[in-house]
Amino acid sequence: MQNETLNPEALPVDLATFRPPVSSGNKNHAAGTLLDKYGRRISYVRLSVTDRCDFRCTYCMAEEMTFLPRDAVMTLEECLRVARVFAELGVNKLRITGGEPLVRKGIMWLIERLGALPGIDNLVLTTNGSQLDRFAAPLKTARVRRLNISLDTLKADRFEKITRIGDLGKVLHGIEAAGAAGFTRTKLNTVMMRGINDDEFVDLVRFAVANTLDISFIEEMPLGAIHGRHTTYISSEETRTLLSRHFELIPSTEDSGGPARYWRIPGSESRVGFISPHSHNFCDTCNRVRITAKGELYPCLGQNDAVNLMQPLRNGADDSGLRQAIVDSMGIKPLGHDFTQQMDAPQVVRFMSMTGG
């Protein structure tokens, strides 16, 4: 069923440049709040608990991956310690990522403790959905607030091709399990790839609406030596134009605490979001840092500069050294990334699975 076609010229804002209002700068921040050198408050940490995954998505990793040795990966106790120190520095949103976080042995031990951390009031998880059939209920009990589930296609053969080894049926069952466990505002993440899944964007939105899910379309990011991106890249604006022929899209000022900008479909609870690191740089409002599974703190996804937290984690000292390393990392957080002209020869050579999805 199609809704009334959107006429962009009739809207009070320009869809191509619209962004919700945000507050930035260093005004009225509490003492001890983590700020970068540009006055942006860091309130959001993406914590990778493993570089391993049960899929091999073409845009995320090489087909033959060499994974980290076990002793090079943060222990679950070290992950908890890092999260606790960030919470003490005013971070309130924590996203657990991978690889696929739910393949990490003992992961529920960590998540249960993260859900009880003072100051963390927004614990979320990014997953490929393959393990949700058995983990959705315990994740809800552990106070995980929201799930992001990667879903690039609704066609089983195409899904297997994109993921190389994935089973679409497991993911769809996982989405059902998340709803049955009581999760709301579950969001699908769809990487836009010309000639690969662009013929399904309308169907993916319809699937989201039918199942009361949100969906975000993500521009491909030039991470890792994956060739051919210049032929598959699609901008958010192009996808919005396509979707506007089938759905009425109303710009929303809603903010999930991340980089997505949202549109509403009248008569539906679903939101359609766009994450546009290439076409509409959102760095001026960046509020996040990433921690890799081996304890590297990346203040910017699109840069190579990092601070290694393993030394303060494993030197036997108290948390003061770890806290100081985190504070010092704010000095290397850049004003922004530059993903232009980097599609097939990126300056960031690590794969997305190594950084944390």
Residue 261 domain-assigned (yes or no): yes
* HEC string for 151-217: CCCCCHHHHHHHHCCCCHHHHHHHHHHHHHCCCCCCEEEEECCCCCCHHHHHHHHHHHHHCCCEEEE
**152 in a domain, yes or no?**
yes
User: What is the pLDDT at residue 65?
Assistant: 80
Our measurement of the distance from residue 184's CA atom to the centroid of its chain's CA atoms, rounded to an integer in Å, reads 17
Task: List the alpha helices (DSSP H) in the chain.
Answer: 76-88, 107-114, 132-141, 156-163, 168-180, 201-210, 229-232, 236-243, 310-314, 319-329, 352-355
| Full pLDDT tens readout for the chain, 357 residues | 344 333 333 333 333 333 333 333 444 445 568 999 889 999 999 999 999 999 988 887 777 788 899 999 999 999 999 999 999 999 999 999 999 999 999 999 999 999 999 999 999 999 999 999 999 999 999 999 999 999 999 999 999 999 999 999 999 999 999 999 999 999 999 999 999 999 999 999 999 999 999 999 999 876 544 445 568 899 999 999 999 999 999 999 988 777 789 999 999 999 999 998 654 555 667 888 999 999 999 998 767 889 999 999 999 889 999 999 999 999 888 776 555 555 444 455 545 545 655
Q: Quote the CA–CA distance of 239 and 202 in Å, as a whole number.
A: 9
Instruction: Tell me which residue range forms the domain holding 106.
Output: 38-355
Q: Is residue 19 part of a domain?
A: no
If one counts the domains in the chain, the total is 1
pLDDT of residue 59: 83
Residue 197 placed within a domain: yes
Q: How many CB atoms lie within 10 A of CB 169?
A: 11
Could you tell me the CATH number of the domain that includes residue 262? Answer: 3.20.20.70
15: in domain: no
Q: Does a structural domain hold residue 49?
A: yes
Classify residue 23: in a domain, yes or no: no
CA distances 158 to 128, 327, 338, Å, are: 15, 44, 31
Output the pTM of the full model. 0.83
Q: Is 1 inside a domain boundary?
A: no
